[in-house]
Amino acid sequence: MHSAVTVDPASPGTVVHGYTPATEADALAAVSAAASAAPDWAAAPPRRRAEVLTRIAELIERRADEVAALITREEGKPLAAAGGEAGKSAEQFRLAAQLAYLVEGATYPDETGATFGYTLRGPLGVIAAITPWNFPLSLAARKIAPALAAGNAVVFKPSPVTAGVGAWLADAAAEAGLPSGVMPLVQGQDPAAMTALVAAGEVGGVSFTGSDAAGAAIRRAARGRLQLELGGRNAAVVCADADLDAAATRVAAGAFDLTGQACTSTDRVLVDRSVAAPFVDLLAERVRALRVGHGDRDGVTTGPVATSAQFERLTALRDSAVAAGARVVAEASSDPDRDPSGRWVTPALFADVPAGHELVEGEVFGPYLSVLPVDSTERALGIVNSSSHGLVTAVHTRDLAAAHRFAHRARCGLVKINDRTTGNGVAPPFGGWKASSGGAFPEGGRQALDFVTDTKTVYLNYGA
């Protein structure tokens, strides 16, 4: 009997998926099941783990249209973006199939005579993967796939907003041959259940993507290793020599794609004052070309925001900024056939936002972008580096030396040069600096093995 449901944010009266939220006892039972299944999975040869991960990738690829439609119904993003997420998720599992063969050690020179030193790497045992609603499939894949590749069991806790996508992935993994207990599913958001999950002694690591506040709660409760991907307050910098047309296209994409609901979305653009006026005109054209509506409709570029809390927060943020003197330079259009009860937030470009206002100081996590003219790239870099967070920044310039200097000095985990702040590959590391991260373990690629494995040093004395 289902006691909770997910709904379509474009038509909140439409139920998408029903599920049973986990209790504290359910969470502990999932951890116990994972701990029991982990040793056999860890003992499986790399080929066996790689075969299962490859089959998961193949299932995602074969059913990409199905899962993309589910992502659009639960989270709201346009179908094309949801399809791209499915493709990225399959790629994550294919990469992890290779990682199964790369849980490697190292050898060391003899320091004392007749002694051989080497290291072994092994799985932590049980990983808790707690994933957000904005990329319900691809961020789950980025956490789960490398953990499984290294021989860990994973307790998977998807966002309750996208519980259906989480259940879809768990079913696909089971169909692909992942043994029972290796990836138990914990649904819902009961505080006692979530605390029990992260505090369980059998959980060797917690990988979480979400808000600063939830990350702080996990820090307080967890006993194992932490990998926390938290907020971003991201800026793009447009230099005087930039290709303004290309920069406008990429800045707009970074700010408004996915309805701005990505931790890497651009919240503000710092543009050299000498080119601010023409750049704002170009950016305004991109904003007016956006069309808000149901993600499965032709011509729609921007879906609804995912939750009622998002809608209320963003509506209040806009009202507050305008009341404080901010000017709306341009807005998107709307599909006239959209459901009026949907969680629609109109993408908007702002100027003259008062210094210190939350619209330019906080994380927007929605389809708003503020333009701030600056007198130099040096000043822009100072603003970027003064932020308490350090996830991603972008710089737009034709000067390669200037771009390299900016990348070298920017205090953040990712720097994009002549590109949008959003989007990343599966092989490079992904992680922020300062308050954008918790723990020293980025996600992505081969580096992901550092979080999900422990290293043991062995000394072999072969002397007489």
pLDDT of 258 higher than 60: yes
Asked if 358 and 375 sit in the same domain, the reply is yes
The answer to whether position 423 is within a domain reads no
Asked if 333 and 355 sit in the same domain, the reply is yes
* Model confidence, pTM: 0.95
Asked if 170 and 247 sit in the same domain, the reply is no
The answer to whether position 364 is within a domain reads yes
Q: What integer is the mean pLDDT of 146-172?
A: 98
Q: What percent of the chain has pLDDT over 90?
A: 96
Average pLDDT across the chain, whole number: 96
Asked if 144 and 264 sit in the same domain, the reply is no
The answer to whether position 379 is within a domain reads yes
The residue range of the domain holding 333 is 234-417
In this prediction, residue 301 carries a pLDDT of 96
Q: What is the pLDDT of residues 314-364, one digit of tens each?
A: 999 999 999 999 999 999 999 999 999 999 999 999 999 999 999 999 999
The answer to whether position 427 is within a domain reads no
Asked if 325 and 276 sit in the same domain, the reply is yes
Asked if 217 and 295 sit in the same domain, the reply is no
Q: What integer is the mean pLDDT of 83-96?
A: 98
The answer to whether position 136 is within a domain reads yes
Query: Is 51 annotated as catalytic?
Result: no
Asked if 444 and 356 sit in the same domain, the reply is no
Confidence of residue 1 (pLDDT cuts 50, 70, 90): low
Q: What integer is the mean pLDDT of 374-387?
A: 96
Asked if 217 and 116 sit in the same domain, the reply is yes
The answer to whether position 422 is within a domain reads no
The answer to whether position 454 is within a domain reads yes
Q: What integer is the mean pLDDT of 168-172?
A: 98
Q: How many domains is the chain built from? A: 2
CATH number reported for the structural domain that contains residue 74 in this entry: 3.40.605.10
Asked if 122 and 204 sit in the same domain, the reply is yes
- Of 4-8, 94-98, 107-111, 117-121, which gets the smallest average pLDDT? 107-111
Catalytic residue among 74, 85, 91, 229: 229
Asked if 313 and 176 sit in the same domain, the reply is no
Confidence of residue 438 (pLDDT cuts 50, 70, 90): confident
pLDDT of 440 higher than 80: no
Asked if 337 and 226 sit in the same domain, the reply is no
The answer to whether position 178 is within a domain reads yes
Integer angstrom CA distances of residue 37 from 30, 40, 130, 172: 11, 6, 19, 18
Catalytic residue among 74, 239, 263, 412: 263
Q: What is the pLDDT of residues 20-43, one digit of tens each?
A: 999 999 999 999 999 999 999 999
pLDDT of 62 higher than 80: yes
pLDDT of 464 higher than 80: no
pLDDT of 265 higher than 60: yes
pLDDT of 456 higher than 60: yes
Q: What is the pLDDT of residues 396-425, one digit of tens each?
A: 999 999 999 999 999 999 999 999 999 999
Query: Is 412 annotated as catalytic?
Result: no
In this prediction, residue 111 carries a pLDDT of 87
Confidence of residue 113 (pLDDT cuts 50, 70, 90): confident
Asked if 335 and 243 sit in the same domain, the reply is yes
Confidence of residue 2 (pLDDT cuts 50, 70, 90): low
CATH number reported for the structural domain that contains residue 306 in this entry: 3.40.309.10
